[in-house]
């Protein structure tokens, strides 16, 4: 009974326009009020919200957000685009491949899919249109490619999953995201190749080796951040949280001293944007973790686990069901609360089937990344449409083959766990 009350209250609040963080918190509170007095329910909810933020790992989120803000305004996107264009822009429809590669690089460095969609899309889409790509197709490529930065580390979403899972290694999650993220990018490039052949797009002029080398030298300071952050984490020199602080210091030097795109007077806006974004994320974390506790208090994860395992004890069937549910969840819920709410529900199910929590974390985030590109709450979709200056209905049709490719990659990663686990095992994480 309590489960249905929680779901119905949550959906009712969302339908009348209550922000998702408050909808989650109020739904949890109403559910608690059914089994305890008002004072106890309010006190319990408040305690759970506060204690959920008492985590050293969560300090990485504001630092990585600030690093992303500095990179978004520090000229990093331009350097990466120039390097990607010199490297692969010669092929027919090459700017589409450049868009995907640049989104992968920028998303991985900044850790923000929205930043990748706006920074890369604003620069690339007009050039893709000039080359012959229809504007809706250009927007569709940019929108879907931006999600790869949430899989390729460093990723705030994987940090959130680590918190929700009760201790999955952030380092292992980061390393596990590389191969699935690259496969997502490769799938999007293959669709772009098909479109380029179908539209008979011309080749660009061949780039001289000296130009490739020059753009590579300009991009080295940006690319070095990946080596600095991930190399230090894997080598055990510092933790993921410490790496996030180092990333801020490095990007501050990069954007102000090396590229000289950010001035002292810009820092106040960057700090304010960081505070706003961090506040939104942490409110979502606190209310979602409180709701997760309510779910556990009401034995809902155990009931879901028993129901799913009662349907079948076949690992393939259960994973397919969970994938379908997560894809549907991603359509209606933002990625952070979805990870925090559904990890405690589904993780006991998959661990009973012998599935590694690191592998399941990658599966969950890939599912929800697809949801970021879908209406009605797909944040990257609306950013990408705005940047491209196209109507929402115009971009949905060209996104269908891109969705299909992403789902195929998702299924491959789901049923070939070595793609997620090989690198963590190789580095003994």
Read off the pLDDT of residues 384-404 as tens digits, 9 standing for 90 and up.
Answer: 888 888 888 888 889 999 999
H/E run at residue 89: none
pLDDT for the residue numbered 377? 67
Q: For 81-92, what is the mean pLDDT? A: 75
pLDDT for the residue numbered 95? 80
More confident residue, 79 or 145: 145
Q: For 212-236, what is the mean pLDDT? A: 84
pLDDT range class, residue 89, cuts 50, 70, 90? low
Token pair 């008002």: residue: 38
Measured between alpha carbons, how far is residue 407 from residues 80, 186, 403 in Å?
A: 27, 13, 6
Q: Are 240 and 170 in contact (CB under 8 A)?
A: yes
pLDDT for the residue numbered 239? 85
pLDDT range class, residue 2, cuts 50, 70, 90? low
- Which residues have a Cβ under 8 Å from the Cβ of 280 and sit 6 or more positions away? 21
Measure the N-to-C terminal CA separation of the chain; round to a whole number of Å: 42
User: Per-residue pLDDT for 157 more than 70?
Assistant: yes
Q: Read off the pTM.
A: 0.85
pLDDT for the residue numbered 287? 86
pLDDT for the residue numbered 408? 96
pLDDT for the residue numbered 420? 95
pLDDT for the residue numbered 144? 92
Instruction: Report the distance separating Cα 173 and Cα 264, nearest Å.
Output: 35
pLDDT for the residue numbered 204? 65
User: Per-residue pLDDT for 361 more than 90?
Assistant: yes
Summarize pLDDT for 196-223 with one digit per residue, the tens: 888 887 666 666 777 778 888 888 888 8
- Which residues have a Cβ under 8 Å from the Cβ of 192 and sit 6 or more positions away? 93, 96, 97, 100, 141
Q: Are 106 and 71 in contact (CB under 8 A)?
A: yes
Q: Is the peptide bond before 89 cis (omega within 30 degrees of 0)?
A: no
Instruction: Report the distance separating Cα 426 and Cα 21, nearest Å.
Output: 39
More confident residue, 362 or 60: 362
More confident residue, 420 or 5: 420
A 10 A CB-CB count for 263 gives 10
Q: Among 295, 281, 332, which Cα is nearest to 11's?
A: 332
Q: Is the peptide bond before 45 cis (omega within 30 degrees of 0)?
A: no
Instruction: Report the distance separating Cα 54 and Cα 64, nearest Å.
Output: 18
Q: Among 88, 191, 61, 111, which Cα is nearest to 103's?
A: 111
More confident residue, 2 or 124: 124
- Which residues have a Cβ under 8 Å from the Cβ of 392 and sit 6 or more positions away? 375, 381, 382, 385
Q: For 235-264, what is the mean pLDDT? A: 87
pLDDT for the residue numbered 228? 86
Average pLDDT over the chain, rounded to an integer: 85
pLDDT for the residue numbered 295? 79
- Which residues have a Cβ under 8 Å from the Cβ of 176 and sit 6 or more positions away? 358, 359, 361, 362, 420, 421, 423, 424
Lowest mean pLDDT among 136-150, 172-186, 323-337, 367-381: 367-381
pLDDT range class, residue 1, cuts 50, 70, 90? low
């Amino acid at each position: 009974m309590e489960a249905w009350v929680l779901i119905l209250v949550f959906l009712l609040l969302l339908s009348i326009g209550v922000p998702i963080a408050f909808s989650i918190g109020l739904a949890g509170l109403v559910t608690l009020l059914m089994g305890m007095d008002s004072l106890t329910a309010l006190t319990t909810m408040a305690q759970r919200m506060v204690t959920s933020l008492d985590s050293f790992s969560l300090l990485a989120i504001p630092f990585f957000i600030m690093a992303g803000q500095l990179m978004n305004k520090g000229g990093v996107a331009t350097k990466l685009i120039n390097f990607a264009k010199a490297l692969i822009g010669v092929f027919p429809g090459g700017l589409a491949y450049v868009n995907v590669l640049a989104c992968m690089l920028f998303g991985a460095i900044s850790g923000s899919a929205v930043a990748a969609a706006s920074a890369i899309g604003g620069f690339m889409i007009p050039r893709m249109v000039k080359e012959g790509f229809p504007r809706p197709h250009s927007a569709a490529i940019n929108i879907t490619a931006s999600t790869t930065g949430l899989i390729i580390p460093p990723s705030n979403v994987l940090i959130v999953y680590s918190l929700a899972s009760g201790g999955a290694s952030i380092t292992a999650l980061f390393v596990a995201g590389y191969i699935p993220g690259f496969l997502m990018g490769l799938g999007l490039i293959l669709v772009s190749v098909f479109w380029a052949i179908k539209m008979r797009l011309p080749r660009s002029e061949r780039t001289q080796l000296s130009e490739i080398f020059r753009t590579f030298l300009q991009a080295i300071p940006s690319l070095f951040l990946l080596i600095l952050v991930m190399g230090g984490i894997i080598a055990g020199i510092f933790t993921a949280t410490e790496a996030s602080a180092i990333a801020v210091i490095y990007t501050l030097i990069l954007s102000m001293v090396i590229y000289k795109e950010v001035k002292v007077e810009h820092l106040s806006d960057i700090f304010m944007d960081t505070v706003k974004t961090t506040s939104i994320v942490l409110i979502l974390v606190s209310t979602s973790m409180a709701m997760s506790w309510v779910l556990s208090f009401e034995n809902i994860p155990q009931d879901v686990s028993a129901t799913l395992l009662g349907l079948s004890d076949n690992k393939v069937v259960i994973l397919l069901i969970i994938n379908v549910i997560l894809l549907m969840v991603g359509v209606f819920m933002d990625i952070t609360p979805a990870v925090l709410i559904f990890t405690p529900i589904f993780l006991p199910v998959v661990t009973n089937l012998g599935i590694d929590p690191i592998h399941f974390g990658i599966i969950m985030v890939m599912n929800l990344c697809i949801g970021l590109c879908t209406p009605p709450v797909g944040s990257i979709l609306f950013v990408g449409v705005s940047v491209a200056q196209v109507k929402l209905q115009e971009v949905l049709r060209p996104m269908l083959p891109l969705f299909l490719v992403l789902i195929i990659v998702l299924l491959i990663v789901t049923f070939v766990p070595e793609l997620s686990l090989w690198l963590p095992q190789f580095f003994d994480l």
